[in-house]
Amino acid sequence: MTKAGVNGKPKVAFIGLGAMGRGMAIQLLSEGFPVSGFDVNPMSLETLLAMGGTAAPSPRECVHDASFFICMVANATQIEHVLFTESVGAVFGLKKDATIILCSTVAPGFPQKILDQIHHRFCRPDINLVDCPVSGGTLRAAQGTLTIMSSGAQNALRLAHPVLQSFSQALYTIDGGLGSASKVKLINQHLAGVHIAIAAEAMGLAATMGINTKQFYDIVLKSPAHSWMFENRVPHMLCNDWSPHSALSIFVKDLRIVTSEGLNENFPLYIASAAERLYQFAARAGYEKEDDSGLVRIFIPQNLSLISEATHRESHAADHERTSRMICLILSIVHGVAAVEALSLGIKLGLSIKALNSIISNAAGASKSFAAVATAMMGQQIAPIRTLTQSRDILKQATVIAQTYDYPLQITTTTLQLLQQAVARGLGDQDQAALHVLWNPLAL
């Protein structure tokens, strides 16, 4: 077995060759790293083999002689399984001084727990570990242009970076030690999860209120209502394409990580939790293995094709303009309040808004409102968009209109309640960033 590639690059073991992992492994190969792969599903190895990689029969054999072991399985349970399973686990085959790169999205406390076990329970204090969650989706994984957050001991990061660079466009080092990168990923997933859910809520409302959904989509892209997820996921809704570009079950898991962290910190996550329940309802309705954009179907069960049918609809120009404007405002305001909730959690977890802003602006959690709120929360003067009282009144009016359709505004209503609370507490004249005190009540 090759110890190093022809160009002297060290061997990389790659476990977890799903939609994301496959793209990353192929980038490694094309950069000249010898790659040995393992996946419980042998089909997942085919592309790797075709591109010159090798296949291993177990995690233990996969990591043999590899300087780096990238773990890109679906969740924490699978990581423990891959590493620690009696006799075939990777921990029994790790090369001296090897570096483990955990790329899965996990709870921030998890990487340290794993490293402690490797060092103490398995008596391998020579092993390095970094947590390197990624963002960007399968397309950017295949292009080698992912956003990667990394944290861990200095030495481990120094070793891992040349490998990580091969599949990233933007590679960030997060201060604060092992787990800090997972904290940043958690904030990104909070936003990304909420943005898909509010995109679904908004598109269901647009279709229910009778406007042309394709035209509405085009309007959002050019407006302050834009989010990365809206742009990326709504096209699937517009053509009823529920094939799993990214399975809904991923956000059931990722929002569970987000809200669990909120519970640990006694930190109420009103909006993330409202979104989580939508994903849970959708998963229970049988949409778990399909694309996360398919969440929209719980809003339109009477006609699951309503959004795509409405792409051909002719709507009265004045109605279309009024309704589009209203739903764009819902999106902007919800994105903004979600940004305050997510950034407040970030502060609570010890992260800097500056770091979160620069990373998330290039990741799946990005939105125009997020950028504005983050800038304001960093204390920079920006032209105020609207006061909290104005935002509240806009969402009140939207809620009254949606009620005439008995349309369930799960996330919009939750956002409205936070605005009502803030106005009642005397913050009505301020802008969205002032909502931060809702998560820091003793500061008021």
Where in the sequence numbering do the catalytic residues fall?
A: 185
Name 159's Cβ contacts closer than 8 Å, sequence gap at least 6: 67, 68, 99, 128
* CB nearer its own copies, residue 86 or residue 406: 406
Q: What are phi and psi of 132, to 5 degrees?
A: -135, 65
Q: Report the residue from 347, 408, 430, 437 that binds its own copies according to the rule CB under 8 A.
A: 408
Which pair of structure tokens corresponds to residue 111? Answer: 């990487």
**Furthest-apart CA pair in the chain: how many Å?**
71
Cβ 234 to its own copies shortest distance, Å: 20
Confirm or reject binding of residue 420 to its own copies (CB under 8 A): yes
Q: Report the residue from 8, 125, 379, 441 that binds its own copies according to the rule CB under 8 A.
A: 441
Only segment of 35-43, 53-61, 185-193, 276-284 that touches its own copies (CB under 8 A): 276-284
Q: How far apart are the two ends of the chain, measured CA to CA in Å?
A: 64
Q: Where is 71: in which H helix or E strand?
A: strand 68-71
Cβ 233 to its own copies shortest distance, Å: 21
* CB nearer its own copies, residue 147 or residue 259: 259
Residue 392 to residues 200, 283, 344, 434, Cα–Cα distance (Å):
21, 31, 20, 14
Cβ 405 to its own copies shortest distance, Å: 9
Confirm or reject binding of residue 85 to its own copies (CB under 8 A): no
* CB nearer its own copies, residue 194 or residue 252: 252
Residues linked to residue 149 through DSSP beta bridges, in sequence order: 172
Cβ 105 to its own copies shortest distance, Å: 16
DSSP string, 120-148: IIS--TT-EEEE--EESHHHHHHHT-EEE
Residue 433: how many other CB atoms lie within 10 Å: 22
Confirm or reject binding of residue 316 to its own copies (CB under 8 A): no
Confirm or reject binding of residue 280 to its own copies (CB under 8 A): yes
Confirm or reject binding of residue 252 to its own copies (CB under 8 A): yes
* CB nearer its own copies, residue 386 or residue 425: 425
Confirm or reject binding of residue 399 to its own copies (CB under 8 A): yes
Q: Report the residue from 46, 281, 289, 316 that binds its own copies according to the rule CB under 8 A.
A: 281
Place of tokens 């090369």: 95
Q: Using CB atoms within 10 A of its CB, is residue 347 exposed (0-12), middle (13-18) or buried (19+)?
A: middle
Residue 219: how many other CB atoms lie within 10 Å: 19
- Rg of the chain taking only CA atoms, in angstroms: 23
Q: Report the residue from 8, 125, 379, 426 that binds its own copies according to the rule CB under 8 A.
A: 426
Only segment of 24-32, 143-151, 269-277, 371-379 that touches its own copies (CB under 8 A): 269-277
Q: Report the residue from 97, 309, 424, 429 that binds its own copies according to the rule CB under 8 A.
A: 424
Residue 221: how many other CB atoms lie within 10 Å: 11
Only segment of 167-175, 267-275, 339-347, 374-382 that touches its own copies (CB under 8 A): 267-275
Q: Where is 151: in which H helix or E strand?
A: strand 146-152
Only segment of 59-67, 99-107, 226-234, 281-289 that touches its own copies (CB under 8 A): 281-289
Confirm or reject binding of residue 416 to its own copies (CB under 8 A): yes
Q: Report the residue from 244, 401, 425, 437 that binds its own copies according to the rule CB under 8 A.
A: 425
* Extended beta strands in 296-357, E state: none
Which pair of structure tokens corresponds to residue 246? Answer: 């990214």
| DSSP helix/strand/coil, 22 | helix
Only segment of 10-18, 32-40, 271-279, 349-357 that touches its own copies (CB under 8 A): 271-279
Q: Is the torsion defined by CA of 378, 379, 381, 384 positive or negative?
A: positive
| DSSP helix/strand/coil, 74 | coil
Confirm or reject binding of residue 409 to its own copies (CB under 8 A): yes
| DSSP helix/strand/coil, 175 | coil
Pairing outcome for strands 68-71 and 134-135: unpaired
* CB nearer its own copies, residue 301 or residue 379: 301
Confirm or reject binding of residue 251 to its own copies (CB under 8 A): no
Which pair of structure tokens corresponds to residue 35? Answer: 């790659």
Cβ 80 to its own copies shortest distance, Å: 16
Cβ 439 to its own copies shortest distance, Å: 8
Confirm or reject binding of residue 387 to its own copies (CB under 8 A): no
Residue 213: how many other CB atoms lie within 10 Å: 23
Give the interface size with its own copies as a residue count (CB under 8 A).
Answer: 45
Residues that bind its own copies (CB under 8 A): 252, 256, 259-260, 263, 266-270, 273, 276-277, 280-281, 283-286, 298-302, 392, 396, 399-400, 403, 406-410, 413, 416-417, 420-421, 423-426, 441-442
